[in-house]
Amino acid sequence: KAVSERTLGHGFFIDSVPLSHILDLSTSPVYVTSLNAIAERISIYKKSLENYFINHSIFYAMKANYAETILQHIKETGAGVDIVSIGEWRAARHAGFSPQKICFAGVGKKEVEWIEAIEGGIGFINVEHLSELQDILNYLSTHKLKLSSLPILSLRLNPCVEVKTHPHLKTGALDSKFGILFEHFVNWINIIQQDFSTQQDFANWLSPLKGIHVHVGSQLMENKIFSLVIDKVLECAHFMFEKNMLPMHLDLGGGLGVPYEGVDPNGDDIKKHIELFSTILVNNIKKYEALQDKWGKKCENLNVSFEPGRSVVASSTVFITKVLYTKHNSAEHHFCYVDGAMNDFPRPSLYNAQHQCEVINFQEIEKLETQFHWKIVGPVCESGDFLSSDALLPNLKKNDVIAFFEAGAYCRSMANNYNLRKLPSEIFIKDGRIIKIINNELPPIQ
C-alpha cells in the first residue's frame, strides 16, 4: 500500500501541514491533532440529532482527551462536556465551558467533588447509588439553593445487556459495578419518596430528579444493542411517571466505536457510523412519544443527550515515534525499537489494541519492497511494552518515523510517567496552521 495515498488527518500531511515539518518543531514521540477533524465529528452528531430533537445536548466525554486546546475548540462548537472527577470539572471550567453545559457522571464520586460542582452551578449530575442520591438531595434541600438553579439529577440504569467489546470496556451487564438494576431503580425511587414525604414542599425538593442515564460500554461497533437499551430506559421512564415524576432528560451515554484496524484514510467510516448510530437512537426514542400518548401527558421539554468521547476525537490524531534500532531474533521474530513506549501510548499494552501504523518518511524503493512482521517495542523495562505486536512494514532503519493512527482517544489522556519518562509532546493544527506546541518536561524530582 502506498503510504503517500494517505492525506488529511492521516500520514504525511495533517490538514496540509507536512509531518516532516512537525518533527523539526518538537521532540519525538509526539501526538499531532487536527482540530478541524474534531469539529467535523461534533457537527455530524449535531446534524443527525437536530432534525428530530428540539432539545438535545452533546456532552463530550473529556476523559477521552482533555487537552485544553481540544476542550476550548469543542466548547466553540456549542457542545457541553461530560466529567468524571473534580479535576475534570476544574479543567472544563478553565477551558470556558459554562457550568450549565457540564454533566458529572461517574461511579464513586466523593462528597467534596459533587459539592464543589453544585456550588459552581453544574447543570447535570448522573447518580449511581442510593446513598449518593440521598446525600445530594439532602444537600440541595438544606442549603437553600434556588430551585431554578439546581442541577438535573439522572439515575444511571444498568440495563443488563451483553455488548461485544473488550471485557474492561463493558459497563452494562449483571457483573458490572456501574449503574442500578431495574429492581433497585424501582426500590430506590420508592425509598427516596418515603424519605422526603415528611418534608414540607417535598415535591419541589425531589424535582431535580428527572433524568435517566445509561451507558453500556465503549468501543461498540454494533448499533442494534441501542434499541434494546432504549426500551429498558423507557421502562424506567414509565415507572417514574407512575410515581408522579415526569422524566424529561434522557442521557444515552457514549460508546460508539471506531474502526482501529482497516482504517479508511478520510475517516468516512466513522462519519457513517455516527450517522447510523444517531438514526437508530432517534428512531427508538420515537417510542417515547407513544409512551406519552399512553400517559395522556406530554413531556414538552424532553432533552436527549449523548456523551461521546472516542468517536469525537480518535481519528483526529496520530502518534509519531522514531526508530532507534532493530533486531532480528529469528526468521519470525523481528523487533523494532522506537522512542515511544507503553507509558506514552498505552492502549496496545492495556487492551491489546491494534492501531494501524505506517512509516511516514520517504524510504528508497528497494526498502519498501522488503517487508517484515515487526513487533514495535519501546524502551520501558517490561515485555508488555509494545506499540504493535505485528506490524507489516519495510526494512526499518534508525531515524525512520512511524505514525500510529486513530490515536486521539484514551491515548494521551492515559499516558503516564512510568520509568520516570517524560510525557510525549503535543502539536495542534487548525485550518492548516500549527496553533500550539507542547514539549513536556521530565517529571519533577520529589
Interface residue with ligand LLP among 151, 247, 253, 378 (CB under 6 A) is 253
Is residue 308 part of the contact set for ligand LLP (CB under 6 A)?
Answer: yes
Is residue 218 part of the contact set for ligand LLP (CB under 6 A)?
Answer: yes
- Count other Cβ atoms within 10 Å, centred on residue 143: 10
Q: Which of 124, 41, 121 is nearest to 316 (CA)?
A: 41
> Residue 94 Cβ, how far from ligand LLP at the closest point, in Å?
21
344-383 positions binding ligand LLP, by CB under 6 A: 347, 351
> Residue 256 Cβ, how far from ligand LLP at the closest point, in Å?
6
Span near ligand LLP by CB under 6 A; candidates 112-120, 143-151, 215-223, 327-335: 215-223
Q: Distance between CA 212 and CA 122 in Å, rounded?
A: 17
133-192 positions binding ligand LLP, by CB under 6 A: 169
Interface residue with ligand LLP among 23, 39, 42, 105 (CB under 6 A) is 105
Interface residue with ligand LLP among 82, 88, 128, 358 (CB under 6 A) is 82
Span near ligand LLP by CB under 6 A; candidates 1-9, 182-190, 238-246, 302-310: 302-310
Q: Count of residues binding ligand LLP (CB under 6 A)?
A: 20
| Residue pointed to by grid coordinates 526508530 | 323
Which of 61, 230 has the CB closer to ligand LLP?
61
Is residue 103 part of the contact set for ligand LLP (CB under 6 A)?
Answer: no
Which of 138, 413 has the CB closer to ligand LLP?
413
Which of 19, 79 has the CB closer to ligand LLP?
79
Q: Distance between CA 153 and CA 168 in Å, rounded?
A: 27
What is the crossing angle of helices 111-119 and 86-94, to 10°? 20
| Residue pointed to by grid coordinates 467535523 | 40
Is residue 310 part of the contact set for ligand LLP (CB under 6 A)?
Answer: yes
Which of 169, 228 has the CB closer to ligand LLP?
169
> Residue 262 Cβ, how far from ligand LLP at the closest point, in Å?
18
Interface residue with ligand LLP among 247, 309, 394, 424 (CB under 6 A) is 309
Which of 169, 186 has the CB closer to ligand LLP?
169
Q: Distance between CA 29 and CA 439 in Å, rounded?
A: 10
Residues in a beta bridge with 250: 212, 304
Instruction: Name the amino acid, one letter, at 382.
Output: E
> Residue 207 Cβ, how far from ligand LLP at the closest point, in Å?
24
Is residue 410 part of the contact set for ligand LLP (CB under 6 A)?
Answer: yes
The residues near 138 (Cβ < 8 Å, ≥ 6 apart) are none
Contacts 24+ apart (CB under 8 A), 71-78: 71/95, 71/96, 71/97, 72/96, 73/35, 73/38, 73/39, 73/430, 74/38, 74/39, 74/42, 74/312, 76/39, 77/39, 77/42, 77/43, 77/46, 78/46
Is residue 219 part of the contact set for ligand LLP (CB under 6 A)?
Answer: yes
Is residue 118 part of the contact set for ligand LLP (CB under 6 A)?
Answer: no
Span near ligand LLP by CB under 6 A; candidates 24-32, 222-230, 303-311, 382-390: 303-311
Q: Among all residues, which ones are annotated catalytic?
A: 381
Is residue 408 part of the contact set for ligand LLP (CB under 6 A)?
Answer: no
Interface residue with ligand LLP among 254, 267, 348, 394 (CB under 6 A) is 254
Is residue 216 part of the contact set for ligand LLP (CB under 6 A)?
Answer: no
Please check whether residue 39 is in contact with residue 73, taking contact to mean a CB–CB distance below 8 angstroms.
yes
Span near ligand LLP by CB under 6 A; candidates 294-302, 309-317, 324-332, 436-444: 309-317
Please check whether residue 396 is in contact with residue 329, taking contact to mean a CB–CB distance below 8 angstroms.
no
Q: Distance between CA 383 and CA 388 in Å, rounded?
A: 12
**Where along the sequence are the contacts to ligand LLP (CB under 6 A)?**
61, 64, 82, 105, 169, 215, 218-219, 253-256, 307-311, 347, 351, 410
